[in-house]
C-alpha cells in the first residue's frame, strides 16, 4: 500500500499542476484577447524595415513561439510587482511586403506588457491558490490510503 501512495501521490499532483496550467493559460489568453481587441500593434519588419499594423490575434496566434527581447530595468513597484521595460521586443509576424513571416519588432510592446501584467495578476494569484489547496487535498486523500 505504501508504494501505491508514493507513486499515485506525485502523479496526481503532476496531473493537477498540468490541468491548472493549461486552464490558466487559456483563461489569460482569452482575457488578453478580450481586453485588447481594439489594440493595434505597431510592428516593424526586420527584413524590409517597413512598419505595419498587427492585431492582438496575430500576436496570440503565435503566443508560445519564440521571441527576442532586450530589457532595460525591472523596477519593484508596490506589492512587490516588478515591471519590466523593454527596449526591444520582437516576434515573428506576417509581413505583407515580404509576403512571409519575418522577425518583426513590436514598437509599442511596453504599453501591451504593462496592461497585460496588470490583467494577469488576479489569474496568477488564483492559480497558485488553486495549486496549493488542490495539492493539500490530494496529499490528504492519498495519505488516507497509505
Q: Does 47 bind Zn ion (CB under 5 A)?
A: yes
Q: Does 54 bind Zn ion (CB under 5 A)?
A: no
At 66, which helix (H) or strand (E)? none
Contact 46, 90 (CB under 8 A): yes
The residue count for binding Zn ion (CB under 5 A) is 6
| Shortest reach from residue 110's CB to Zn ion, in Å | 23
Q: Does 97 bind Zn ion (CB under 5 A)?
A: yes
Contacts of 120 (CB under 8 A, 6+ apart): 28, 31
Which member of 32, 45, 90, 112 binds Zn ion (CB under 5 A)?
45
Contact 68, 57 (CB under 8 A): no
Which member of 41, 54, 95, 142 binds Zn ion (CB under 5 A)?
95
DSSP class of residue 41? E
Among 9, 32, 59, which Cα is nearest to 115's?
32
Q: Does 98 bind Zn ion (CB under 5 A)?
A: yes
Q: Does 42 bind Zn ion (CB under 5 A)?
A: no
The sign of the CA dihedral 87, 91, 95, 99 is: positive
Q: Does 100 bind Zn ion (CB under 5 A)?
A: no
Q: Which is nearer to Zn ion, 73 or 96 (CB)?
A: 96
- Residues 80 and 62: their CA atoms lie apart, in Å, by 30
- Residues 97 and 51: their CA atoms lie apart, in Å, by 10
Q: Which is nearer to Zn ion, 94 or 123 (CB)?
A: 94
Q: Does 108 bind Zn ion (CB under 5 A)?
A: no
Q: Does 48 bind Zn ion (CB under 5 A)?
A: yes
Q: Which is nearer to Zn ion, 22 or 48 (CB)?
A: 48
Residues in contact with Zn ion by the rule CB under 5 A: 45, 47-48, 95, 97-98
Amino acid at each position: 500500500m505504501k508504494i501505491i501512495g508514493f507513486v499515485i501521490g506525485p502523479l496526481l499532483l503532476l496531473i493537477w499542476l498540468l490541468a491548472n496550467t493549461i486552464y490558466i493559460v487559456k483563461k489569460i489568453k482569452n482575457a488578453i484577447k478580450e481586453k485588447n481587441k481594439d489594440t493595434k500593434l505597431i510592428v516593424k519588419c526586420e527584413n524590409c524595415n517597413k512598419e505595419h499594423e498587427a492585431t492582438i490575434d496575430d500576436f496570440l496566434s503565435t503566443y508560445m513561439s519564440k521571441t527576442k527581447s532586450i530589457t532595460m530595468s525591472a523596477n519593484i513597484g508596490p506589492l512587490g510587482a516588478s515591471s519590466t521595460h523593454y527596449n526591444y521586443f520582437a516576434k515573428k509576424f506576417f509581413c505583407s511586403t515580404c509576403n512571409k513571416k519575418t522577425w518583426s519588432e513590436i514598437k509599442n510592446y511596453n504599453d501591451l506588457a504593462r496592461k497585460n501584467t496588470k490583467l494577469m495578476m488576479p489569474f496568477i494569484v488564483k492559480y497558485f491558490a488553486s495549486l496549493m489547496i488542490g495539492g493539500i487535498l490530494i496529499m490528504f486523500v492519498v495519505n488516507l490510503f497509505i
